[in-house]
Every structure is written in C-alpha cells, then in structure tokens.
C-alpha cells in the first residue's frame, strides 16, 4: 500500500532551464560556462557546493578568478539562480491536495544559495512557505551526497523514516530512478513537458 510520495524538485515540481544559467555566467565572463552545467548534475565548484564539500565563501572564491574583475558575490548568486524558472501555482495546490491522502516528501540535489533565495520565494508565492508543502525534506547539501548515489537515498529513508516499499519516488532522471528502484522504491519518471499529476494519475502502484 502506497503511503508516501517522494518528489524531486528541479524538473518535477520546479521548472528549470540550464541554458539561462549558462548565458548568465557567460555574461559574467565564465568562458567555459557550458561545461559546468548538466540537466541533472553540475561540475566543479557548483557540484562541490551541492554536497557541501565547499562553503558558499569558498564557492565564490573558486569562481571569481574566472569572472570579470569586480564581480560580486550577489552577481554570482543571481547568475546561478537563473537555472530556476519557477513553480506554477497549480503545482503548489496539487501538493496541498496530495497531503490530504499521502505523506509528501522532497528529495533534491540543490545548494544553499538557491535554497534560501529563489526556491524559498517560489514556494511562498501562494501564501505559504516551502515547509508547508512537505512532511519532510532532504537536500543534497544537508545529506552531503548527491543523487544518483545510493547514500542520499539511504539518508532519506532514515531521516524521513519512510519505507521504500510504501513510497513512490518521482524524478526526471532515469539514473536517479534506477538507484531508488534498487533500494525498493516504486518509481515514476516525469519526462520534460509532463506534469507530475499526470504521471500520478496513471501510476499502477498508486491506483491499484
């Protein structure tokens, strides 16, 4: 019996566009910006920040030599947040409705810069705060590990106190889903351009 829904953030709840971020960093002078950003994972200091291998200050220091002289921390953070497009209000309301029937959780590869600024702002735009939509949250920078590594899923199982066999995990990356499935989760791929509500409506484990 399915009791829990575990959601990825970017590409599932929040719309993202890596090209916006690449363009923003190119404007700041990062010549090889495209090499740092993938649709599902980042590289270099961007990756290190997501799993707390470096602090925000170290992140800024690592990038600054590659950027135009005088680039500020605020400009770096603003460019980084261009990865995030936003969350339609209808998805926020769908999460509210789901909590009436299930425990709803979030498992995200993200970083503290986006988390406390743009992500918090998007969740607040329907009069609530981010934590109002979930029964528990796990972020990569808190867990010190990243999807698709099994370590972050094991952390989520323990931290959220969930049974994988009672949980459906929604993600837009098949690699992440494969790891989750190996640990006993039911899984659901949310392809680009598809709403998680559509996937939810036809998922066999939920609707059987």
In degrees and rounded to multiples of 5, residue 6 shows phi and psi of -115, 120
Q: What spatial distance separates the first Cα and last Cα of the chain, rounded to whole Å?
A: 9
CB distance 17 to 39 below 8 Å: no
Phi and psi of 172, rounded to 5°? -100, 0
The CA-CA-CA angle for residues 24, 138, 104, to 5°, reads 110
Active site residue 8: yes
β-strand partners of 137: 106
User: How far apart (Å, rounded) are the C-alpha atoms in residues 188 and 155?
Assistant: 20
Cβ-count burial 50-77 (b if 16+ within 10 Å, e if not): bbbebebeebbeebbebbeeebeeebbb
How far is CA 196 from each of CA 72, 102, 117, 124, 203, rounded to the nearest angstrom?
A: 37, 15, 24, 20, 10
Residue 164 DSSP SS3:
helix
Q: Which residues are catalytic?
A: 8
């Amino acid at each position: 019996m399915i009791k829990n829904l575990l959601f990825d953030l970017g590409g599932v709840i929040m719309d993202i566009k890596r090209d916006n971020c690449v363009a923003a960093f190119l404007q700041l002078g990062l010549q090889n910006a495209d090499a740092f950003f993938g649709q599902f994972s980042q590289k270099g200091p961007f990756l290190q920040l997501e799993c707390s291998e470096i602090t925000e200050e170290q992140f800024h220091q690592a990038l600054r030599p590659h950027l135009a002289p005088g680039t500020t921390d605020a400009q770096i953070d603003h460019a980084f947040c261009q990865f995030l497009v936003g969350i339609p209000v209808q998805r926020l309301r769908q999460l509210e409705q789901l909590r009436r029937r299930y425990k709803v959780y979030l498992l995200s590869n993200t970083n503290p810069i986006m988390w406390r600024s743009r992500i918090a702002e998007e969740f607040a735009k329907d009069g609530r705060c981010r934590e109002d939509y979930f029964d528990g949250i796990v972020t990569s920078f808190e867990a010190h590990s990243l999807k698709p590594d099994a370590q972050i899923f094991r952390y989520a199982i323990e931290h959220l106190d969930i049974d994988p066999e009672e949980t459906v995990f929604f993600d837009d990356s098949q690699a992440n889903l494969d790891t989750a499935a190996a640990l006993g989760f039911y899984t659901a791929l949310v392809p680009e351009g598809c709403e998680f509500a559509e996937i939810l409506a036809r998922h066999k484990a939920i609707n059987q």
